Copies of this chain bind each other. A is one copy, B any other.
Amino acid sequence: MRIPMNMEHTELAERSGLIRVAVDAMGGDHAPAEIVAGAVQAASEGGVAIALVGDPGQVEAELERHDAGSLPIQVVPSKGVIAEGEQPAMALRQKPAASIVVATGLVKRGAADACVSMGSTGASMAAAAFILGVIDGIDRPALGGPVVGLAPRTAILDVGTNVDCKPAQLVNFAVIGDVFARQFLGVKQPRVALLSVGAEAGKGNRQVKAASDLLDKVGLNFIGNVEANDIFSDVADVVVCDGFVGNVVMKLSEGLGTALSERLRSTLADRLPREEADAIAKVVHELSNPVEGAGGGPLFGVNGVSVVGHGRARAGSLKRAIGIARLAVETRFVEKLNEELGRVRETVDS
């Protein structure tokens, strides 16, 4: 059943209890082929109806490669793509029919429950902020989750674009991380920590010290400071930092893992069969570059579910990102987050 972009699809999905996910079919290094393939996989496994947003000719051609005729997938036309590196706000104005704009718009007007993109993270953020709007008290969307492979149960945030944070923003990230860890990692009472330069209270820069004082008051399970090496010791479920520091954490982890992996490959070459050495090097690489494999994460602090993933995503990652979008919708992540942020804002302000 290939249905056109109209109310029938929406009604159909609602009747059958499917979560409706708008997928940016043009975003990512391997779009549209891998994106369409991942969407077909997700739809095959059930639970979701997919709107593939993109150039109709290209997307239809990719769909023809799959046995997708009976799946709840439709094509929604868009024009243009916002590429990685384009200035997002300007690109949004210049390309009002770009795939990420149309996909986010479907969420805004209730024709989809969530959107997913492997394209420019900046474009997803800008589209979400402008079209869906941000939650009260959030300046711009935040981003995070288990971004370090050897700490797959530790959510780190912000790793997005909040590079100049007031202490109250770090408190917001703590609240977001708390809700995220409950809903996505299944932790009952997440241990929330601030990333700092010493574990003792009072260690840190001005921003962290002030945030620490605020976090003592807001009713989270705040365990104080952790240092960067503690990320690997499972002492905290949520590690809070500003987006500048979070970006350094994520990129250093990726870079170090990639460099170690290459070094290992040559070290092992003399001792193991080539395939085994390659396999071990690959494990090290994947452990350090989890974002490519994990699928993606929701943008935090926007009024709607928008999941962003890695540009290098292939079909499997896209499918997992759709799963994350579905989970966010099913657990009412945005509503829950709104409530918690409102509650904490009252505490911090009072």
* Chain A interface (Cβ < 8 Å from any Cβ of B): 85, 148, 150, 161, 163-164, 195-197, 200, 204-206, 208, 227-233, 241-245, 247-260, 263-264, 267-268, 271-272, 276, 280, 283-284, 287-288
Take A244-B204, A271-B272 as given contacts and tell me if A163 and B197 are in contact as well, using a CB distance cutoff of 8 Å.
yes
With a CB–CB cut-off of 8 A, which chain B residues contact A231?
Answer: 252, 255
How distant is the Cα of A239 from the Cα of B260 in the complex, in angstroms? 20
Find out whether the CB atom of B255 lies under 8 angstroms from the CB atom of A267: no
Please, could you name 28 A-B residue pairs with CB atoms under 8 Å apart, sorted by A?
Answer: A148-B256, A150-B256, A197-B248, A208-B244, A228-B255, A229-B251, A231-B252, A232-B255, A232-B256, A232-B259, A233-B255, A245-B245, A245-B248, A248-B248, A248-B249, A249-B252, A252-B252, A252-B253, A253-B256, A256-B256, A260-B284, A260-B288, A263-B287, A264-B264, A264-B284, A267-B283, A268-B280, A271-B272
Minimum CB–CB distance from A161 to chain B (whole Å) comes to 8
Inter-chain contact B243/A197, CB cutoff 8 Å = yes
Cross-chain contact of A164 among B206, B249, B276, B284 (Cβ < 8 A): B206
Q: Told that A196-B244, A228-B249, A241-B248 touch, could you supply 5 new A-B pairs with CB distance under 8 A?
A: A150-B256, A163-B205, A231-B255, A248-B249, A260-B260
State the number of copies, please: 2
- Verify B150–A259 contact, CB threshold 8 A: yes
The reply to whether A252 and B228 form a contact with Cβ atoms under 8 Å apart is yes
Q: Within the complex, what minimum Cβ distance (angstroms) separates A311 from chain B?
A: 14
- A29 to B242 Cα, complex, angstroms: 34
How far is B231's CA from A241's CA once the two chains are assembled, in angstroms?
21
Query: Are A248 and B163 neighbours in the complex by a CB distance under 8 Å?
Result: no
Q: How far is the CA of A276 from the CA of B264 in the complex (A)?
A: 13
Contact of A244 among B197, B229, B271 (CB under 8 A): B197
Chain B residues near A255: list those with CB within 8 A: 228-233
One of B204, B244, B284 near A245 (C-beta < 8 A): B244
Chain B residues closer than 8 Å to A229, beta-carbon distance: 251-252, 254-255, 258
Task: Closest B residue to A205 by CB, please name it.
Answer: B163
Expressed in whole angstroms, the Cα–Cα distance for A254 and B263 within the complex equals: 17
Residues in B with CB closer than 8 Å to A200 are 85
Bound: A76/B82 CA distance, A: 69
Give the contacting residue for A248; candidates B228, B233, B264, B267; CB below 8 A: B228
